[in-house]
Structure 1
Amino acid sequence: MRLARIAHPQGFAFVEIRGDVDDPGSAVCAEIDQHPFGEPTFTGREWPLGEVRLLAPILPPKVVCIGKNYAEHAAEMGTEAPEQPLIFLKPSTAVVGPGNDIVYPPSSDRVDHEAELAVVIGRPCKDVPASRAKDVILGYTIANDVTARDQQAADGQWSRAKGYDSFCPLGPWIVTDLDPAGIDVRATLHHADGTSELRQDGSTSQFIHTIGEIIAYISKVMTLLPGDVILTGTPAGIGPMVPGDEIEVEIEGIGSLRNPVVAG
């Protein structure tokens, strides 16, 4: 099942997207009553995918991120891979949807992309054993953990560098039946002159800490709520973006998330 959040001629809705998403003229958005958690109830209203605007698929109560979960990324950051998951938070106000602008803050000299698989939590949970992590997951989506790299280095902690409005693109939808083991995670930077470069090309098989281990670790620290989003770390190849670029994150089995970069 693909769950999405859309803007349509009558307002906004949570929907299930049915049909071939590569053919927006034939795919249909079926409205879900109230929220997508648990067994969905459908209202009967539908819109063609081509006639709606995709929003961030969830407005998370919190975004919990895992740092340095790929050994090669830890190495390119000049550090050792952490023995335990390294967690930090991004504010919910950083979340934007597919196609929305990433705003380059004038206070930064370097803003980087970080392609990541994101886990969406489906029910309240605390102290979840790693073996039962699947029971609390609603599904998976694509994330870009945008980072003001110069400010991350200057501050010694990461709240400012990773917390700007627009620094957490999510989307285009949540896939509920994805097997996250060994799927490809890529980032391609498209420049204003029409050229493109593949920046990141990794796989979740390279995780240092598995999704089960991550959820178990986080849920020992804080209660997870329906709609919470967990970013699982980025593969090697992070790099700068500038206004005029467009960054595309692709994850096997989910799709593509594209966002233009604009000057703030």
Structure 2
Amino acid sequence: MKIARIVFDGKCYNGLVTELGFQPYEGSFYDGSAKVNGNLIPLDEIRYLPPCEPKTILAVGKNYKDHAAEMGGAFPANPILFIKPTSAIIAHKEHIVIPKGCGRIDYEGELAFVVKKTAKHVKKEEAASYILGYTCMFDITAREVQSADGQWTRAKSFDTFAPFGPVIETNLNVMSSSVTTRKNGNVVQQASFTLMTWPPAALLEFITSCMTLYPGDVVTTGTPAGIGPITQGDTLELDIPGIGILMNKVI
């Protein structure tokens, strides 16, 4: 299933994206109470919202060895975690805004997963039951700010620096899929998810050993090699087979 939140005719809807259109639902996909409510809406008449409303966005650094190598420094013994603020969220087809005076701004294309139910001390063997599904996310980063600060919070937290969507795919076979990032139509990142050092189940176990995650929270799993700068006028596309394409222009 492809879960989405959309706007149509001035109203917000939750539901599923299908080949025939958008099917509105009532109830919750998190607790299994969702049921059909209304008629199909043509996909060319909808505007996507972020597919969930997280309390927390947890992000992972250096989960791919090739990206860790291009960034320099030792490869970490454990996942590197940081938090992006929910104020940075934008949806599919919304604009990434380059902040003034911050120097180089980079794209990082990533797979993210959405938490289905309250998660604390989750073992990786049971992680699948805690994951609602998967989505696309750009971890936009002010690279010179990151270097100057010596830690990552400010560099990752500017408004519009957390585009994600357009849908949450509940049936993705992660280890059979891959990520491709395109800038202005040119492939700049491409990697199989088998290259992740810590796949989603391992990340959920590690994260929930120290903090509680709640339904709708988002964990973005890190980026492969190929990061690079963006400038005003660029168009980014993040393509994950089985989920779809997240597209954002840069202004």
Partner of 2:183: 189
> In 2, distance between residues paired with 1:140 and 1:155?
31
Q: 1:221 aligns with which of 202, 206, 210?
A: 210
**2:169 aligned partner, one-letter code:** V
Deviates more, 1:179-188 or 1:140-149: 179-188
Q: 1:56 aligns with which of 47, 50, 54?
A: 50
1:130 aligns with 2:124: yes
Report the equivalent of 1:8. 8
Q: What is the Cα deviation at residue 48 of structure 1?
A: 1.4
Counterpart residue number, 1:209: 198
By how many angstroms is 1:34 displaced? 4.0
Equivalent residue letter for 2:226:
G
Is 1:170 equivalent to 2:159 in the alignment? no
Are 1:231 and 2:220 an aligned pair?
yes
Amino acid in structure 2 at the alignment position of 1:154: A
Give a deviation string over 1:64-108, Cα, whole Å, max 9, x none: 001000000000000222111111000011111010000000021
Matched, 1:251 2:244: no
Give the distance between the partners of 1:221 and 1:234, measured in 2 at CA: 23
* Matching residue of 1:67: 61
TM-score by length of structure 2 reads: 0.97
Q: Helix, strand or coil: the match of 2:38?
A: strand
Are 1:111 and 2:105 an aligned pair?
yes
Could you tell me how far 1:10 is from its partner in structure 2? 4.4
Runs of 4+ in 1 over 6 A off after TM superposition: none
Distance 1:16 1:31 in 2: 7
- 64-73 vs 175-184, greater mean Cα deviation: 175-184
Tell me if 1:159 matches 2:153: yes
**Matched-pair contact (CA < 8 Å) for 1:118–1:140:** yes
Deviates more, 1:227-236 or 1:79-88: 79-88
Give deviations 1:16-60, integer Å, cap 9, x for gaps.
Answer: 1122xxxxxxx3211121433122122234311111111111121
Figure out how many residues of one structure are paired with residues of the other and give that number. Answer: 250
Q: Whole-Å Cα distance in 2 between the matches of residues 54 and 225 of structure 1?
A: 23
Q: Distance in 2 between matches of 1:138 and 1:43?
A: 21
Contact 1:61-1:92 within 8 A present in 2 as well? yes
Contact 1:90-1:163 within 8 A present in 2 as well: yes
Secondary structure class of the residue paired with 1:181: helix
- Helix, strand or coil for the counterpart of 1:14? strand
Contact 1:70 1:81 survives alignment (8 Å): no
Partner of 1:218: helix, strand, or coil?
helix
Letter in 2 for 1:136: Y
Alignment of 1:91-102 (within 5 A): 91-102=85-96
Identity across the alignment (%): 39
Whole-angstrom distance in 1 between the partners of 2:75 and 2:220: 17
Taking structure 1 as the reference length, what is the TM-score of the superposition? Answer: 0.92
Number of the residue aligned with 1:199: 188
Q: 1:32 corresponds to which residue?
A: 25
CA distance in 1, matches of 2:81, 2:140: 16
Unpaired segments of 5 or more residues in structure 1? Answer: 20-26, 191-195
How big is each residue's C-alpha offset from its partner over 1:133-164, in whole Å with a ceiling of 9 and x where there is no partner?
Answer: 00100000000000000000000111110001
Conserved in 2, the CA contact under 8 Å of 1:37 and 1:226? yes
Alignment-mate amino acid for residue 139 of structure 1 = G
Which segments of 5 or more consecutive residues in structure 2 lack a partner in the other structure? none
Equivalent-residue separation in structure 1 for 2:207 and 2:249 (angstroms): 32
